[in-house]
Structure 1
Amino acid sequence: MAEKKSSALFVCLGNICRSPIAEAVFTHYVKEQNLSEKWIIDSAATADYHTGKSPDRRAIKCMKRHDIPMSHKARPIIAEDFKNFDYIFGMDENNIRDLKRLAPKNSTAKIELLGDYDPEGPCIIRDPYYDDGDEGFEEVYQQCKRCCQAFLNKVS
């Protein structure tokens, strides 16, 4: 019998900035540790503003700068995600509140703030969407890097 894969879903408001960065970073670390066969990884939005769109151009630029592949089309979270994923990570308190509100009664996913795994804090991964430059995206990348490493170390 095949071993059950672990699964992680990264969620933010629109699924074009923080959550696709977190998905790409976590996927990168999983591949580096030769664990790709053991994980299902995706990202989604709590709102459907950007469904079908690629990540924000600044997010793509940030990932290219760090040589981390990112290919994702924004999608809203759906009821099945709450039973198909072991972990659902929100980026801020609003995401967590929305996720708990959207979770069906039969939800089995563990809903957590991704930032709770950041050994340096802060636990909130701030939305860089309305920032003028690239600095906010770099900050999100650095936070996701620390959080994803710490989470993977904890569960591996």
Structure 2
Amino acid sequence: MSVKKKVLMVCLGNICRSPIAEAVFADFIRRKKLYDIWEVHSAALIGYHTGKGPDHRAMTTIEKHGITDYTHQARPITTNDFHNFDWIFGMDEDNIRELERLRPNNSSAVIELLGSYDPEEERIIRDPYYDTDIQGFEKAYIQCVRSVAAFLEKHKY
């Protein structure tokens, strides 16, 4: 048996996009029975929401799509994350710049936009945090589904 590949989803606060991306990836792991191959977590670039659960609109969105067992508490990214994860996905260009700035010199983690795998080429995962409704969360969810599916297809083991 090979060593699990580890993925970290990152956004600014770890309560909207990165938890949606983590829940989507975990759902693929569960449905495709890839427990022995993949592991996924998420983290924030800032500690403002540390310890909080995902935004209620994010939870409503993933639950609407049948992901009903997801639990999460926001946490900030750590230096160890850059050594413990094989891929670290940012949701937008600002996330990528900050991840590159924080990356230790000896980190081998691949830092990429999750949306770089989107077959519809929507590279930036929609940030719905300041929206007054749920449509932006639905958009982010759909983008994550497309991107995670394409990533897993590309990286079959």
* TM-score normalised by structure 1 residue count: 0.97
Give, in angstroms, the shift of residue 32 of structure 1.
1.3
Structure 2's unaligned 5+ residue stretches are none
Q: Distance in 2 between matches of 1:118 and 1:3?
A: 27
Q: Percent identity, aligned pairs only?
A: 57
Q: Distance in 1 between matches of 2:6 and 2:56?
A: 27
Q: Distance in 2 between matches of 1:117 and 1:94?
A: 18
| Match of residue 103 from structure 1 | 103
Q: Report the number of matched residues.
A: 155
Amino acid at match of 2:14: N
Contact kept? 1:20, 1:70, Cα under 8 Å: no
| Match of residue 57 from structure 1 | 56
Give, in angstroms, the shift of residue 122 of structure 1.
1.2
Contact kept? 1:10, 1:88, Cα under 8 Å: yes
* TM-score normalised by structure 2 residue count: 0.96
Residues 37-96 of structure 1: per-residue CA shift (max 9 Å, x gap): 221210000111100000000000001101113211000000010010000000000000
Give, in angstroms, the shift of residue 126 of structure 1.
2.0
Q: Distance in 1 between matches of 2:137 and 2:25?
A: 16
| Partner-residue secondary structure (3-state), 1:37 | coil
Structure 1's unaligned 5+ residue stretches are none
RMSD over aligned CA atoms reads 0.8
**Deviating 4+ runs (over 3 angstroms):** none
